[in-house]
């Protein structure tokens, strides 16, 4: 009896991950364009919702959302002819009825076989992505299956504004008062999503609610006035902080109490906050009793905080374990 060795080391979920990262940030706008149908503007892409359950109980691989309220279903296969199999008729029907499309590695069918677009992944770009990310992907799988306890990463979330009018600070307090399970959300932004995709279970985060009393503009400047002197430090008032541990590193939330909580003050019907993670507050660490004043250049954090505030509007900032420990010790000592 012959026993054949299975050389198929990856399943379809790997393609899903590649597409998700490519739509958000990997390979730039050209790679994103190659994965979207010709009838949409790549710059109008907002976010992708994976494995969406439809009204007919069919679980679409992705639902893509665009700025003009357009929603397009996307199905993913290794080769295009898989969509013609009898057990996939419901997928084919759904794509036809909802103007969806198919992404494959090899389009092995005729254009007349289906009335929707079929796009091909560029294999060399996929292989480069896989080679770059194989260690991270394998580590995530081992951790997810509870066979590896990897080192945690450490992060800051700097949220700017004065205490009496800081909506992030108010949202955080209201959230921990209103929910038994804690969560946070971010607006759609390539800088934000790239960092969120690197967040792992049990990573630790310091939320910092901060103000820069000497800064007059919403963006933090890189240079001082007309002198073009590089700013490496500025006064930073920390009026509240919280230390948390990541419980669920990333998900998209389009309905329910969490979505309603973050969208309650949004007059626009289009959802602003899409990307979420869940966390536990460590040792009841939410402190807003007094203001801690430091220079942002301490621990070489000014560049990271400035980038987070200017680019990601208070997104995740990855820092070393030693800086995290030293910074946390400073907060405790004040």
Domains and CATH numbers, the chain: 12-137 (3.40.1350), 151-333 (3.10.590.10)
Q: Which residues pair with 60 in a beta bridge?
A: 52
**DSSP collapsed to 3 states, the chain:** CCCCCCCCCCCHHHHHHHHHHHHHCCCHHHHHHHCCCCCCCHHHEEEEEEEEECCCCCEEEEEEEECCCCEEEEEECCEHHHHHCHHHHHHHHHHHHCCCEEEECECCCCHHHCCCCEEECCHHHHHHHHHHHHHHHHHHHHHHCCCCCCCCCEEEEEEECCHHHCHHHHHHHHHHHHCCCEEEEEECCHHHHHHHHCCCCCCEEEEEEEECCCCCCCCCCCEEHHHCEECCCCEEEEEEEEEEEEEEEEEECCCCHHHHHHHCCCCCCCCCEEEEEEEEEEEEEEECCCCEEEECCHHHCHHHHHHHHHHCCCCCEEECHHHHHHHHHHHHHC
Asked whether 326 and 294 are in contact (CB, 8 A), the reply is no
Q: Which residues, other chains included, contact 89 with Cβ-Cβ below 8 Å and sequence gap of 6+?
A: none
Q: Give the relative orientation of helices 190-197 and 12-24 as an angle to the nearest 10 degrees.
A: 150
Provide the pLDDT for residue 227.
57
Instruction: Quote the CA–CA distance of 235 and 295 in Å, as a whole number.
Output: 5
Q: What is the pLDDT of residues 90-99, one digit of tens each?
A: 899 999 999 9
Provide the pLDDT for residue 244.
96
Provide the pLDDT for residue 268.
65
- pTM score, two decimals? 0.80
Provide the pLDDT for residue 117.
92
Per-residue pLDDT of the chain (334 residues; tens, 9 = 90+): 666 666 666 788 899 999 999 998 886 778 888 999 988 998 899 899 888 766 667 778 999 999 888 999 999 999 999 999 988 998 999 999 999 999 999 999 998 899 999 999 999 999 999 999 888 888 888 877 777 777 789 999 999 887 777 788 888 999 999 999 999 998 887 778 888 888 988 899 999 999 888 777 677 766 566 656 667 778 889 999 999 999 999 998 888 888 888 887 666 667 788 899 999 999 777 888 888 998 888 888 888 888 888 877 788 989 989 889 988 988 888 6
Tokens 């490496």 belong to residue? 232
């Amino acid at each position: 009896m012959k026993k054949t060795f299975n050389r198929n080391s990856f399943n379809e979920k790997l393609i899903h991950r590649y597409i998700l990262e490519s739509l958000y940030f990997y390979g730039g706008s050209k790679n994103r364009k190659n994965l979207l149908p010709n009838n949409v503007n790549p710059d109008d892409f907002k976010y992708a919702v994976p494995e969406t359950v439809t009204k007919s109980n069919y679980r679409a691989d992705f639902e893509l959302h665009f700025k003009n309220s357009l929603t397009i279903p996307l199905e993913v296969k290794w080769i295009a002819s898989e969509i013609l199999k009898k057990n996939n008729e419901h997928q084919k029907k759904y794509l036809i009825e909802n103007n969806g499309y198919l992404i494959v590695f090899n389009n092995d069918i005729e254009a007349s076989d289906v009335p929707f677009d079929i796009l091909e992944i560029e294999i060399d770009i996929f292989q480069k992505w896989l080679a770059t990310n194989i260690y991270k992907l394998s580590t995530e799988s081992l951790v997810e299956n509870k066979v590896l306890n990897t080192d945690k990463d450490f992060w800051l979330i700097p949220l700017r504004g004065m205490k009496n009018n800081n909506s992030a600070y108010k949202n955080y307090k209201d959230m921990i008062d209103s929910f038994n399970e804690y969560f946070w959300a971010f607006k759609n932004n390539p800088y934000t999503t790239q960092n969120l995709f690197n967040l792992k279970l049990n990573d630790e985060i310091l939320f910092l609610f901060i103000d820069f009393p000497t800064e007059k503009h919403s963006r933090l400047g890189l240079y001082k006035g007309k002198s073009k002197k590089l700013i490496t430090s500025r006064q930073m008032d920390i009026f509240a902080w919280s230390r948390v541990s990541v419980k669920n590193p990333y998900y998209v939330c389009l309905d329910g109490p969490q979505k309603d909580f973050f969208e309650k003050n949004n007059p626009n019907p289009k959802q602003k906050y899409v990307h979420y993670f869940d966390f536990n507050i460590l040792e009841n660490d939410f402190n807003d009793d007094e203001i801690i004043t430091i220079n942002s250049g301490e621990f070489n954090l000014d560049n990271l905080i400035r980038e987070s505030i200017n680019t990601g509007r208070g997104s995740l900032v990855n820092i070393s374990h030693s800086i995290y420990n030293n910074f946390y010790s400073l907060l405790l000592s004040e």
